Amino acid sequence: MALAETLTAMGTAALARSGGLPLGSHLFPVWPGAAFAATALPVQCTPGDNLALHVAVAQAPPGGALVVDVAGEPDYGYVDEILAVAARVRGVAGIVIDGCVRDVGAIARAELPVLSAGVSVREPGHDAGGAVGREVALDGDRGPTRVRRGDWVVADDDGVVCLPRGRVTAIVADAVESVARDREVVDALFAGRSTLDLLNLDPSRVVGWAGGPVSAAGSAERAG
């Protein structure tokens, strides 16, 4: 659990900078603040059917996360109130699905973190098969991202990243340094420094640049 808490605290932005593989920017939390970090149980649904999701929830390890491929047919409400409650009771940490969900309010009340591609009232079937535990490929920002059983998945308001097995330690070590650097920059900004100075940016590349970095104090004097 300590690793899950660490990854959640670091956030997806820092992890993506440090080698985590971003899943598609089309995936958003169903409710604000939904976040988790957990090992993945991949789920392959057949188009328009969520039987595999029911099977995955029934046998998911407590604390794990479901990563769901819907075979290119997103416009069904694959996750609903019933599945959300079942997953919550089972101890599932969260669900990432490249398809739609329904019963959004009930999913939020169940406090199950779910990231999806949208919302659809269309009810899926429950009898067409699928697979649980096999590698899936979800659309990423640079093409398909493969997610295997045991990979770490981290999700929050900024999106979802996958940390492949065998690379977690290196990614976390780099992310720790990245977060520390960001903290130093933020502290310096509150002290009146400029992002141009702190990030070594070249403002002369921008048409209309009119001079050196202006401190917060200088801006206040000009405004007065």
> Tell me: the pLDDT tens digits for 93-148?
999 999 999 999 999 999 999 999 999 999 999 999 999 999 999 977 677 899 99
What whole-number distance in Å separates Cα of residue 11 and Cα of residue 36? 9
Residue 186 pLDDT? 94
**Which residue, of 125, 140, 167, is where some domain finishes?**
167
What whole-number distance in Å separates Cα of residue 115 and Cα of residue 99? 9
Q: Do residues 47 and 29 both lie within one domain?
A: yes
| pLDDT per residue as tens digits for the range 3-42 | 999 999 999 999 999 999 999 889 999 999 999 999 999 9
What whole-number distance in Å separates Cα of residue 88 and Cα of residue 111? 8
**Which residue, of 131, 147, 167, is where some domain finishes?**
167
What whole-number distance in Å separates Cα of residue 68 and Cα of residue 80? 14
First to last CA, the chain: 52
The SS3 of residue 145 is strand
Written as six digits, the tokens of 140 are 């990423």
Q: Do residues 61 and 102 both lie within one domain?
A: yes
Q: Do residues 149 and 209 both lie within one domain?
A: no
Number of domains present in the structure of the chain: 2
The bridge status of strand 136-140 relative to strand 118-119 is unpaired
Q: Do residues 25 and 117 both lie within one domain?
A: yes
Instruction: Report CA-CA distances (Å) from 46 to 71, 100, 101, 141.
Output: 6, 14, 15, 23
Mean pLDDT, residues 187-191: 94
Q: Do residues 88 and 29 both lie within one domain?
A: yes
Residue 43 pLDDT? 98
Q: Do residues 30 and 122 both lie within one domain?
A: yes
Instruction: Answer yes or no: is pLDDT of 52 > 50.
Output: yes
Q: Do residues 118 and 12 both lie within one domain?
A: yes
CATH code (residue 60): 3.50.30.40
User: Which residues in 10-25 are b (16+ Cβ under 10 Å) and which e?
Assistant: bbbbbbbebbbbbbbe
Total-model pTM: 0.87
Q: Do residues 152 and 188 both lie within one domain?
A: no
Q: Where are the alpha helices (DSSP H) in 60-162?
A: 81-90, 104-110
> Which residues, 6 or more positions from 221, have their beta carbon under 8 angstroms from its beta carbon?
none
Q: Do residues 32 and 143 both lie within one domain?
A: yes
Q: Do residues 108 and 66 both lie within one domain?
A: yes
**Which residue, of 144, 167, 190, is where some domain finishes?**
167
Domain containing 184: what range?
A: 175-223
* Reported confidence tier of residue 212, pLDDT bands at 50, 70, 90: low
Find tokens 């988790």 and name the residue.
36
Q: Do residues 123 and 181 both lie within one domain?
A: no
